[in-house]
């Protein structure tokens, strides 16, 4: 997969992209990333990329010119057409189903903005879908773009050390995970549940299933309500 990011802060992406799974995926050739600075496509002498909203109101709006020019430049960097995604608080909320959907794409083009928002013609003109990562206010779309990159890339075959752990993901199953334990058997007086030491794999699987359900009921009952609030 190729992921392009259009941003005013390409430096913000450098550390996350050079560590852990995201680094490994790029080293393996599973992932190619490219960061492009929207400000490089400003056409005025102050390098302006935002302006006051027509109709008045607070804050500044991302100008369509630099974003369009940047997008068209980026699209041409590679022959595969990229799926344009705008990070905005108005978008559909990102979830594991969306991560799986995006992981099937050959190329994504993520557009992260600062300021109050994008000129509406950016969304409509580029035919971009909008994604939010949740109901809280960030200072820009950069961290949201990184969240999406992380969730998508770990799903690409081979990016994981252990292929099974993706299938095992609690959200793919719709339940929270069972509790995990490792050595030592007793830590500060707290013992590992006996059943995990029993070697009885059927009983262990049953116990884990039970714990998953119990914790989901207690901590995330919304996950059991079948999504349609009935």
Q: Which residues are catalytic?
A: 89, 116, 154, 169
* CB-nearer residue toward ligand 9D3: 144 or 175: 144
Residues in a beta bridge with 48: none
* CB-nearer residue toward ligand 9D3: 117 or 178: 117
- As a whole number of angstroms, the distance between CA 204 and CA 224 comes to 23
* CB-nearer residue toward ligand 9D3: 144 or 176: 144
Contact between 130 and 88 under an 8 Å Cβ cutoff? The reply is yes
What's the min distance (Å) between Cβ of 149 and ligand 9D3? 13
* CB-nearer residue toward ligand 9D3: 137 or 186: 137
Torsion of CA 20, 106, 95, 33, to 10 degrees: 40
SS (H, E, C) 147-183: HHHHHHHCCCCCCCCCCHHHHCCHHHHCCCCCCCCCC
* CB-nearer residue toward ligand 9D3: 133 or 152: 133
Q: How many CB atoms lie within 10 A of CB 214?
A: 14
Q: What DSSP designation does 228 have?
A: T
Q: What DSSP designation does 5 have?
A: E
Site of tokens 């010119």? 65
Rule CB under 6 A: which residues touch ligand 9D3? Answer: 87-89, 113, 116-117, 132-134, 136-138, 140-141, 144
DSSP 39-74: GGG--STT---EEPPTT--SS-EE-HHHHHHHHHHH
What's the min distance (Å) between Cβ of 170 and ligand 9D3? 22
What's the min distance (Å) between Cβ of 62 and ligand 9D3? 10
What's the min distance (Å) between Cβ of 205 and ligand 9D3? 37
What's the min distance (Å) between Cβ of 113 and ligand 9D3? 5
């Amino acid at each position: 997969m190729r992921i392009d990011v259009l941003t005013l802060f390409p430096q913000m992406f450098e550390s996350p992209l050079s560590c852990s799974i995201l680094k490994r995926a790029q080293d393996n050739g599973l992932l190619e990333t490219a960061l492009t600075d929207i400000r490089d496509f400003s056409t005025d002498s102050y390098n302006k990329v935002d302006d006051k909203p027509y109709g008045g109101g607070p804050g500044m709006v991302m100008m369509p010119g630099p974003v369009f020019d940047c997008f068209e430049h980026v699209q041409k960097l590679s022959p595969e057409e990229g799926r344009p995604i705008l990070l905005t608080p108005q978008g559909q909320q990102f979830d594991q189903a969306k991560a799986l959907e995006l992981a099937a794409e050959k190329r994504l083009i993520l557009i992260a903005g600062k300021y109050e928002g994008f000129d509406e013609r950016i969304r409509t003109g580029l035919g971009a879908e909008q994604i939010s990562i949740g109901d809280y206010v960030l200072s820009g779309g950069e961290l949201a773009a990184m969240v999406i990159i992380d969730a998508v890339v770990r799903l690409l075959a081979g990016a994981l050390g252990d292929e099974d752990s993706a299938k095992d993901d609690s959200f793919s199953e719709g339940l929270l995970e069972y509790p995990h334990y490792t050595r030592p058997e007793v830590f500060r007086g707290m013992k590992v549940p006996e059943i995990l030491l029993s070697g009885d794999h059927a009983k262990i699987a049953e116990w884990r299933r039970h714990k998953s359900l119990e914790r989901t009921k207690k901590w995330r009952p919304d996950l059991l309500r079948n999504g349609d609030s009935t």
